[in-house]
Amino acid sequence: MRTVALREHAITGAAWCAWGAASLSMISIAASQSLLAAAIFLLLLGGARWRAPQFAWPLVAFIALTLLSAAFSPDPAGAWPQIRKMYVLLTLPVVFTAFRSAEWPRRLVWAWVATGAAAGAWGLVQFWLKWTRAQAAGQEFYVAYVADRITGFMSHWMTFSSQMMFALLLGAALWLWGGLRPRLRWTVAAALAVVALALVLAMTRGIWIAAFCGLVYLVWCWRRWAVVALPVLALLAVLAGPESLRMRVVSLVQPRGEMDSNMHRVVSWRTGMAMVQAHPWLGAGPEQVRLSFDKYVPADIPRPLPIGFYGHLHNIYLQFAAERGIPAMLAIISVFLWALWRWRASTTWLARGGIAIIIGVLVTGLFEHNLGDSEILMMTLAALAAVESARLHQDVLPA
């Protein structure tokens, strides 16, 4: 009897650790991964029966192809950072195994809304500090800010912006269909207002587009006619915002020299296509995009290259295909497409929020290697596991 109780306590502790690991990914990746390890240990201690969603199985192929790509790469030892990062993939089976009721996915969404609001609030403080420093130094704010934007609790604005998108889309689904009491509804609305403002002021254009696509899906499910209001609201936000925001929006079609980073992405994408053409099946090898980039730059691209970061290809489809081959890229993308197919007819708030997240992640992936961030990869896998766990238990009722 004591052994049974110990195992039950261990599995309950694993659920709390899995929840903490997913929740803290917005604050500290070190703490998050430590809690993931604790969850694994407690699941083993409790003798839990390990499970994974059906759509998780292509990850096995992705892992195998990654290892094969590393083995045949010109520098197998150099692939270690990507091999080590596969630890984060355990988030999917760990969260799915540990969450044994829909209460846990609900708690996770609440945690992301709360931590997202806290990170967003700190990001707004950062924006004010950067604006006042630029004013005091007599600098043009846009020039000073684009290269040093708000990051919340993270080290880079791209990671921060993706986290704000997660909180915004899942929080919006909770607000629309969660059956919240009036006081909670106002609380969530206030938190989402902070998150949305932080996302706008982070000025990450690709994630603006991705978040907008996710919101279009949610609003379409809610009131189809209301979709037409979204571009109007976006336009009003731009007009009411600071001049730097309008300049950033205009840069989508009229970049201000190399500062707005459009050209270095074009160079990255063309180089990635050259890598894929040269190594379609197993790729150039994990980490070889960073280490061998110059070797594959098309000859017609003038030197020096446009200012920008060339450590990855700013596109998950090209990145995975160039590094690990087209089959590996298709394997990891099929995880998301399979989940979309399974959830397509679901009307629960959590499933709709999950679909919006997948849309956001896949659209962001057109412009950034977002799944290369451990924080974003962990949040994405945790969201997939949480939604599927709630569907399994069939008790996603009002929050």
Backbone angles phi, psi at 337, to 5 degrees: -65, -35
pLDDT of residue 227: 97
pLDDT tens for residues 335-384?
A: 999 999 999 999 999 999 999 999 999 999 999 999 999 999 999 999 99
Given pLDDT bands bounded at 50, 70 and 90, which one contains residue 392? confident
pLDDT tens for residues 106-146?
A: 999 999 999 999 999 999 999 999 999 999 999 999 999 99
Q: Tell me what the pLDDT averaged over the chain comes to.
A: 95
pLDDT of residue 109: 97
Q: Give the whole-number percent of the chain exceeding pLDDT 70.
A: 97
Alpha carbon of 333 to those of 232, 330, 363, 399: distances in Å?
Answer: 33, 5, 12, 30
Q: Give the whole-number percent of the chain exceeding pLDDT 90.
A: 91
pLDDT at 397 over 60: no
User: Contact at 8 Å (CB) between 331 and 282?
Assistant: no
pLDDT tens for residues 263-321?
A: 999 999 999 999 999 999 999 999 999 999 999 999 999 999 998 999 999 999 999 99
What letter would DSSP give residue 286?
T
Where are the chain's structural domains?
53-259+313-393
Is the pTM higher than 0.75? yes
The helix (H) or strand (E) run that includes residue 336 is helix 326-343
Alpha carbon of 68 to those of 52, 61, 64, 95, 323: distances in Å?
Answer: 23, 10, 6, 27, 11
What distance in Å separates the CA atoms of residue 277 and residue 283, rounded to the nearest whole number? Answer: 9
**What's the whole-number mean pLDDT along residues 7-16?**
95
pLDDT tens for residues 65-101?
A: 999 999 999 999 999 999 999 999 999 999 999 999 9
pLDDT at 396 over 80: no
